[in-house]
Amino acid sequence: MKKVKKIKIKVNGKVKTLQYRTKLSKLVENLNIPIKKVAIEVNQEIADKKKLNKIILKNNDKIEIVHFIGGG
């Protein structure tokens, strides 16, 4: 049986194992992220929210998903 290749990435500092060639749009969808209320970085580069389906995640990618919280 063919073994399905997996990748490991970090999302907000937490390790996640994903299918090989998972798109960033898919990850965001699976995490149930309200896309209009966040910003996303891939390896410290801001990802264009309109083109998340064009970004294919690679092993060891570091994703940061941020939003606004209370602050002074």
Query: Residues interacting with another protein, by CB under 8 A?
Result: 11-14, 31-34, 36-41, 44, 46, 49, 64-72
Q: DSSP state, 21?
A: T
Nearer to another protein, 2 or 36 (CB): 36
Nearer to another protein, 19 or 41 (CB): 41
Contacts 24+ apart (CB under 8 A), 15-21: 18/57, 21/56, 21/57
Least CB distance to another protein at residue 34 (A): 7
Least CB distance to another protein at residue 49 (A): 7
Are 57 and 24 within 8 A, CB to CB?
yes
